[in-house]
A and B are shown apart, each in its own frame.
Chain A
């Protein structure tokens, strides 16, 4: 489904703040893979996700989704294949627009907009059903502006928007990190439900090792722009946080300094 070959990315090349964020990274995702990504700060997790989403171009290598090489595609064009939920709850929705308008936009993700009126009564009924599935009481607030919602409600709405049109690939960038633990739990449950129901190929960054172990069928651990650990299936199921730390130390070997280990 997703095929990443030898991608590299250097930020601010030739300057004092030069940072090699991805080093010839390759990754293959089979259809239906739900992969959790962990790693310390600066390991390259977000750079990997943003490279796939097209926030910036990669320096080398290629990215292919569902057989289409999208390496040179601009960000907006990749939305045809990719659904995204950002870390910042503000980023995934348009705050000054109504819930209904946000959903109407998401319901046409990847299609060229036309001069048809934005939302119809028929669509509204559909939106209400989808919102009812979130169990947040949003189904009666179609005309509320999204800016009035809480961070958790906005993330749930963004998740709904990202999956309204079934994406070939769902990218979740620490989408629960800005939420309180209870709300984070709710959004994670919702994530698991949506991914299972639609059999979505998913890449989820998290800073929480337990979540990384609990969710998904495969786990990768990044360090210094590379993938250090890649476990799947039964092997992943039987892992504990302790095992994970041990694997990380073994794989990172002598390069590892204790303070770069910001895994919790």
Chain B
């Protein structure tokens, strides 16, 4: 039972990362590697501010703003300076490694004595239950905000930019602005995710961003395959559930005795298989037809 609660609560905290990756990878059609830097950035900013005596909610808010700025930097690199999006993300991510060290002053910042979002709202009794409830509330609020925003005129323009830039330019929308806006929102959410994970883990670490893009992709793809992609609302729910399922899969393979050091390899293989699934399915169908 404990394991289930902690798995679901971790899944919820990381679901914000998954939604962020969904916004770039699926909505904007860009593989944005900024997340590998904006996730620990969110953790670093929140941890530093908490250590400096800030309240958890303003600290998380500032983490979100920092993440948004990193998204704008990537957006600027790829729209105004015409650097390919993948490379632009990598550049920001590498730059953020140094920024994160500066923000924290050292490579690892413990949060053992500080008040966190999970200690100021002691709901649910034990710690994992608290994380689960607060995680669920945050994910619900973010999902509602995303659902609303992407239903507005601007939100529809962002979605159309990722879907068909020719069409949306022919309708008078500046695609550059929409790409920057999408990256801003995505990395803001990723930074919130980093801030929450740091508070739940009790520390921020400069290396905690490694592999986040793959974790995000795994959640997005698992969610899409298992829970569908009919509408934007459906996709949002799928991605959140995908994040929880991903955590469950990880928990199960760890229980089965896989060394934790092999986790990243496992995740990478999982994502590679999931990404190639459509191709494999098509081949399989062809072979059966013959």
Contacts and interface: CB of A to CB of B under 8 A. Distances in A.
A101 B149 CA distance: 14
Contact of B156 (A53, A97, A109): A97
Contacts, number: 94
B163 A109 contact: no
B169 A75 contact: yes
A79 interface: yes
B159 A113 contact: no
Contacts of B152: 113-118
Contacts of A113: 152-154, 156-157, 173
A84 B160 contact: no
A79 B164 CA distance: 15
B163 A79 contact: no
Interface in A127-177: 161-162
Interface stretch (A25-33, A87-95, A256-264): A87-95
A165 to B, nearest CB: 9
A86 interface: yes
Interface residues of B, number: 22
A114 B172 contact: no
A106 interface: yes
Nearest to B169: A76
A104 B171 contact: no
Given A76-B175, A79-B170, A97 B151 contact: no
A92 B163 contact: no
B101 interface: no
A104 B168 CA distance: 12
A109 B166 CA distance: 13
A66 to B, nearest CB: 16
B167 interface: yes
Contacts of B164: 90-91, 93-95
A94 B154 contact: no
Nearest to A164: B171
Interface residues on A, range: 35 or more
B223 to A, nearest CB: 17
A221 B156 CA distance: 40
A115 B152 CA distance: 5
Given A94-B164, A97-B156, A76 B151 contact: no
B110 interface: no
Contacts of A77: 172, 174
Given A95-B163, A96-B163, A117 B151 contact: yes
B170 A114 contact: no
A61 interface: no
Given A101-B156, A118-B153, A118-B156, A111 B172 contact: yes
Contacts of A111: 172
A91 B169 contact: no
Contacts of B156: 97, 101, 104-105, 113, 118
Nearest to B230: A145
Contacts of A53: 170
Interface in B210-242: none
The residue among B155, B164, B171, B175 with the most chain A CB atoms within 10 A of its own CB is B171
Contact of B166 (A91, A97, A101, A114): A91
A74 B157 CA distance: 17
Most chain B CB within a 10 A radius of its CB, from A90, A96, A110:
A96
A87 to B, nearest CB: 11
Contact of A74 (B155, B166, B171, B174): B174
Given A94-B164, A101-B160, A113-B153, 10 more contacts: A76-B173, A76-B175, A82-B170, A83-B170, A92-B170, A97-B159, A104-B156, A106-B171, A110-B172, A118-B156
Interface of B: 149, 151-157, 159-160, 163-164, 166-175
Q: Which 3 A-B pairs have the closest CB atoms?
A: A79-B172, A113-B153, A94-B163
